[in-house]
Structure 1
Amino acid sequence: MTFHTLGKLVLAGTLASMMGSAAFAADYTLSINTALATSDPLYKGLEAFQENMKEASDGRLEVKLFPNSQLGPDEDVLEQARAGAPVAVIVDGGRLAVFQKELGVLGAPFLASGYDGIRKVVTSDLFEEWVKKLHDASGHQILSFNWWQGERHLLTNKEINGPADLDGIRMRTPGAPVWTGTIAAMGATPTPMPWGEVYSALSANVIDGAEAQFPAIVGAKLDEVITHITKTGHINLITGMVTSAQWFDSLPADLQKILRDEALKAGDVASYGTQDSLAGIEKELTDKGISIREIDVTPFKEATAKVYDDLGYGDLRDKLRAMAAE
């Protein structure tokens, strides 16, 4: 066999391999960004979504996962989606409020406790109206908003018993008004920064504290740089899977439905998994020497009541609390 003949055979084999790969390649790809680590129970829901989408779409739509904000901060990915990129991000309502005001109320203080109540809100007809408004106003499509990450607590290096103890504390928070307003009302000085910077900021005393849910605390190893967790549960962190409306609208109708159906199912997997993990995570943190205390949160509830009115959510507050309590 001559070198020329061998070369043609190799080339033919390579082309056949490429054609075979192309034949089985997905028609569409969605890249999902999350600030959370792969150890977070919510990430298990994303893995379920990835696998179930492959099956439900018969391989036509491939989901790729990017933990630890590999695609950039949430705000950057939201802008990529707005521009039509096939990306999605797990994000809270506060960051979406700049595009659709009502969504910010989901991050308002002491709105609901636990997952089941807030799930009623984000699967309601009222919420679906907000989904449509966001789609038309900003070019974002919510796939589902039932990705519950837990209740947020105060993380400090001193004991906290009430709002007065937060005076002068520089506390990391997301930059959305509902978050900064809540933390300011609780008595601390809100200090917005990306989640990925919190560990180093605490280590270098750039900030004095943070607030987060239990899975995120261990995911970011914040137990290494704090000594106290005060269980305030001031924000019940419900988040959503948000993608590009332009990209979503370009999909066949059946894939649009499959995406939303599977996102809702996977959100339940993530949320109930989170719920089941909390006691174990709390024990793990206690065993590491972290002081975890429950306190009377009434003073914090009273101090943050004005946040709803300050942001124009006064009318929604009672309606959504009643819906969550049904």
Structure 2
Amino acid sequence: MKKKSLISGLLISSALLLTACGDDGNASGEAGSGETYTLKMGTALAETDPIYQGLVEWKENVAEATNDEVQIEIFGNGSLGDDKDILEQAKVGTNVAVIVDAGRLAEMVPEIGILSAPYIVDSYEEASQVVESDLFKTWEEELAQDHNLQVLSFNWYQGDRHLLTNKKIEKPEDLKGLELRTPGAPIWTETISAMGASPAGIAFSEVYPGIQQGVIDGAEAQHPATYGANLHEVISNIAKTSHFQLLTGVVAGADWMDELPEEYQQIVKEEAAKAGAEASQNTVDQLADFEQKMVDAGVEVNDVDIQLFKDATESVYAEFDGYEELREEINKILGK
């Protein structure tokens, strides 16, 4: 089979594209000058999600630290639009940002898509190690220099992703004939195909009606998002495959970020990192609670032999140029 170009979505931080309120739209370059800057922050997540709540904390802390001169408006449940569309707007100077995974960013920096490869890391801690490495910094720089996108922080952990269906899944063979929703980035769709299902790249907001109406047979997602979208109402089973560890980032437009006074740029980044760390820990702490709520609602949650799914998705790495070598680099970073 021909190798595909590395195209998958980088988990980048949602763009902090802050618009200056002035006749010419340019900042004065001085904090406390009375200029105000507004960033519209998009996410597909619901208000019940720890990550969404972390974005609210980020918003409040930035407003306080800048005397309300930097204002962040949060748009949940995909109401600001598709992640890819928001990124395109950020690149051309619109005051928008998005919380996004590495798979989508891979369309611009192919190598970063390795972070969305199946079982590339086994935990939030391992994912954090990679994001803090020099390797990841080179991808960040390429995004900024070549694509006008600024990663504000990439430490927003949303949990490990599992299979959501209306039949019990215990092994890859059980997925034959099922159509499952996954984000449209090639690394994600290739992974679902390798597992044995057919991938459907529809918007997350369309998953509930899609399953309900029989358009798709299920999806794959992390517990907070599954519960937040009420998917436990239209599925009967969750197979705990943990095939992706979903670490995401807040990404904004580099040009708009540059329009902020330097002091405010620092505040926005520092507060994004702080809020991301706290939201990630809250996610880890609440995963079991989200699972119990869905069990209480009648969903069967079953553990699987993860090695079977690791073996099934091993072929994915050979489908993307350079991913086998990148995996070796990451294993060295992790000391494996």
* TM-score, scaled relative to structure 2: 0.87
Partners in 2 of 1:88 and 1:106 — Cα distance? 20
> Which stretches in structure 1 are left out of the alignment for 5+ residues?
1-22
Residues 166-177 of structure 1 mapped to structure 2, 5 A cutoff: 166-177=175-186
Q: CA RMSD in A?
A: 1.5
* Farther off after superposition, 315-324 or 146-155: 315-324
After superposition, where does 1:84-233 map in structure 2 within 5 Å? 84-233=93-242
1:317 to 283, 307, 327: 327
Equivalent AA in structure 1 for residue 328 of structure 2 = D
Q: Residue 73 of structure 1 corresponds to which residue in structure 2?
A: 82
Contact persistence 1:117–1:325 (CA under 8 A):
no
Question: SS of 1:152's equivalent?
Answer: strand
Matched, 1:238 2:247: yes
Q: 1:35 to 1:269 in 2, by over 3 A?
A: same
- In the alignment, the residues of structure 2 paired with residue 60 and residue 165 of structure 1 have an alpha-carbon distance, to the nearest angstrom, of 54
Q: CA deviation at 1:277?
A: 0.5
Task: Evaluate the alpha carbon distance shift between residue 24 and residue 67 of structure 1 in structure 2; reply closer, same or farther with a 3 A threshold.
Answer: farther
Whole-angstrom distance in 2 between the partners of 1:146 and 1:88: 16
Which structure has more helix as a fraction of its residues? 1
Stretch deviating more after TM superposition (109-118 or 224-233) = 109-118
Q: 1:35 corresponds to which residue?
A: 44
**Aligned-partner Cα distance in 2 for 1:282–1:26:** 45
Shift of 1:24: 9.8
Higher-Rg member (1/2): 1
What CA distance in whole angstroms lies between the structure 2 residues aligned with 1:262 and 1:318?
Answer: 33
Deviations 1:116-152 (A, max 9, x none): 2211111222211111101122111111111110000
1:63 aligns with 2:72: yes
| Consecutive aligned runs of 4 or more in structure 1 exceeding 4 Å deviation | 23-26
Provide the residue aligned with 1:9 in structure 2: none
Which of 278, 300, 309 pairs up with 1:300?
309
2:62 to 53, 61, 67: 53
SS in 2 for 1:305: helix
SS at match of 2:242: coil
CA distance in 2, matches of 1:148, 1:196: 20
On the 8 A contact 1:87/1:244 being kept in 2, the answer is yes
Q: Give the one of 233, 252, 265 matched to 1:256.
A: 265
Cα 1:126–1:114 change in 2 (3 A) is: same
1:26 deviates by 5.4
The match for 1:11 is none
Letter in 2 for 1:142: V
- Helix, strand or coil at the partner of 2:46: coil
Distance in 2 of aligned mates of 1:110 and 1:262? 30
| CA gap 1:325/1:266 in 2 versus in 1, 3 angstroms | farther
For structure 1, which segment, 253-262 or 69-78, has the greater mean C-alpha deviation from structure 2 after superposition?
253-262
Q: Is 1:280 aligned with 2:284?
A: no
Q: Residue 38 of structure 1 aligns to a residue in which SS?
A: coil
How many positions carry a matched residue from both structures?
Answer: 304
Question: Normalised by the size of structure 1, how large is the TM-score?
Answer: 0.90
Distance 2:132 2:263 in 1: 20
- Say whether the 8 Å CA contact 1:26–1:59 is kept in structure 2: no
* Of 150-159 and 313-322, the range deviating more from structure 2: 313-322
Paired with 2:152 and 2:33, the residues of 1 have a C-alpha distance of 26
2:279 to 249, 257, 270: 270
Is the 1:100–1:137 Cα contact (8 Å) retained in structure 2? no
* Cα displacement string for residues 235-266 of structure 1 (whole angstroms, at most 9, x for unaligned residues): 00111101111111222222222221111111
What is the CA–CA distance in structure 1 between the aligned matches of 2:83 and 2:136, rounded to whole Å?
22
* Distance in 2 (alpha carbons) for counterparts of 1:294 and 1:71: 36
Q: How far off its partner does 1:109 sit?
A: 0.4
Q: Distance in 1 between matches of 2:70 and 2:132?
A: 24
| CA drift at 1:285 | 0.9
